[in-house]
Amino acid sequence: MSFLPALSIISLLVMLPVLLSLRKSSMPGAAEFASSCAMTAIAMALVMLAEIPSLRPLLLVGFAFLAIACLFVLAGFRSFFALPSWRPAILPLGATMVATISVLVAFGAQSTAARALIALGVAAAVFVVASISVLRLRTASDPTTRKSIVIGAAIASVTLLHIAAISPPSPVNEAGPAILIAWNFLLAAMWLLYLPILFLGVILMTHDRVIADLKTTIARDELTGALSRRAFIELGERIFAACTAHARPAAFLLLDLDYFKQINDRYGHAAGDAALGHFADTVAACVAGRGTFGRIGGEEFGIVLSDHTEGEAFLLAEEIGRTVRDTPVGRFGQPIRLTVSIGIASASEADTMTDVMVRADMALYASKADGRDRCTIAGRLQPDASARVLAAAAAQLRAAENYSLAPQLLRDTG
């Protein structure tokens, strides 16, 4: 009785709690992978016990558990990669089974053709393991690679069942030609190591997905869906640095929703939240991939535009202002008309993002002072110490807008 399968069983049982914990986190495919891991451990235990003559009937039960485990692996990949149908798995699975049975009937289990099929399946297994453990960042975004992984897993599953049921590996240390010893080692490695290493790769792959989801959650403002302040500033600094390094134009738009305090006071904070979300959706649709949009704080938002001159940024700002003006918030029984004031500044060679934001803030203050619902270009004013103080004072004035200022543009439009 060989105890080599016991090593695989132990490794599977060690990884099972990790997969179960991923299942509790609602990770797609985690339940299927956990079930497959458990069934694989049971299958290997039954096959190991079947080496005892009196327990030989357990061999067929072990093969059945192994087949079910392979199906759960395919189901896990399909769920994790959000594939719309079983076609990427069923077609190669059926074709491989038909080809395997045909070769076995025509040439026998030990023929060159049968060994070629096994070699193909082992190569598919190596591809799958490498893809999900080494190239896992690419697999998260490349549809072709995702489908290839499922196809490779289907071919590897048929090969594993072929090895387990028809061509069981001989002892690796058997005396004989080097080619035979290498072949037996290959079969033993496929039988004992493929699924344990596969589940290790799955854990790494799902771990990356969890980290990516957390980063996305942190980078997004919960209320509006725009980039959070920290993520927006960091990305904006990289964009400005890249543009200035290659002598490409870049611009910054600072947007402030007009009379937001009055919206909260007149309609309630729920309406204010709805107005912010509606405003962010409207602006994001206008930007439509032309720039990076984020929430700086309160009702202030920013847009970083690469390869945009001040004139091009001004045209986009006018489009945003017009769209916001013409798209009222249609909630709470009556539409609420919104307007936005915008300050525009472009980056020069020695500018940091802070310098550009200060100039944009000064331009935004000018838009507010000129009556709101307009956009203003900052020009080439350099933000010295007094300019920074003025910008800070402007922000405080906007935050403390007097409600006695009767808003002419904030009115019901119904």
- Phi, psi torsion values for 295, nearest 5 degrees: -100, 125
Higher pLDDT, residue 246 or 311: 311
Buried b (16+ CB within 10 A) or exposed e, 23-36: beeebebbbbbbbb
pLDDT of residue 411: 37
Write down the pLDDT at residue 89: 66
Determine which of 73-77, 94-98, 250-254, 370-374 has the lowest per-residue pLDDT on average: 94-98
Res 225: pLDDT: 85
The pLDDT value given to residue 167: 55
> If you compute the radius of gyration of the chain from its CA atoms, what whole number of angstroms results?
31
Q: What is the mean pLDDT of the chain?
A: 81
Answer whether residue 195 shows pLDDT above 60: yes
- pLDDT at residue 407 above 90? no
pLDDT the model gives residue 17: 92
- CB hemisphere CA count around 46 (13 angstroms): 17
Q: Would you state the pLDDT for residue 386? A: 47
- Tell me which residue of 117, 131, 123 sits closest to 77, measured CA to CA: 131
Structure tokens at 378: 């900052």
Residue 379: pLDDT band with limits 50, 70, 90: confident
Confidence band for 165, pLDDT divided at 50, 70 and 90: confident
What pLDDT is attached to residue 138? 55
Q: Hey, where are the domains in the chain?
A: 4-219, 229-399
Closest by CA to 232, choosing from 202, 214, 253, 213, is: 253
Of the ranges 25-29, 72-76, 145-149, 346-350, which is most confident? 72-76
Whole-number percent of the chain with pLDDT over 70: 83
- Quick one: pLDDT at residue 238? 87
User: pTM for the full model?
Assistant: 0.62
Query: At residue 395, does pLDDT exceed 60?
Result: no
> Which of 126, 110, 96 lies closest to 193, judged by CA?
126
Over residues 12-58, the pLDDT tens digits come to 999 999 998 887 777 888 899 999 999 999 999 998 888 888 888 88
> Which pLDDT tens digit goes with each residue over 139-162?
555 677 888 888 889 889 988 988
Per DSSP, the residues of 310-333 read HHHHHHHHHHHHHHHHTS-B--TT
Band (414; pLDDT cuts 50, 70, 90):
very low
Confidence of residue 175 (pLDDT cuts 50, 70, 90): low
Tell me which of 88 and 56 has the higher pLDDT: 56
Q: Which of 131-145, 157-171, 194-208 has the highest mean pLDDT?
A: 194-208
pLDDT tier for residue 360 given thresholds of 50, 70 and 90: very high
What is the reported pLDDT for 410?
40
> What is the arithmetic mean of pLDDT over 363-391?
73
For the residues 49-78, what does the mean pLDDT come to?
89
Helix (H, G, I), strand (E, B) or coil at 342: strand
Provide CATH code, domain 229-399: 3.30.70.270
In this predicted structure, what is the pLDDT of residue 151?
Answer: 86
Show the tokens assigned to 165.
């049921």
Mean pLDDT score, 303-313: 91
For the record, the structure tokens of 230 come out as: 């920290």
Q: For 203-260, what is each residue's pLDDT tens digit?
A: 988 888 878 777 777 788 888 888 888 888 888 888 888 888 888 899 999 999 999 9
Res. 398: pLDDT tops 50: no
- Expressed in angstroms, the distance from the first to the final Cα of the chain is 84
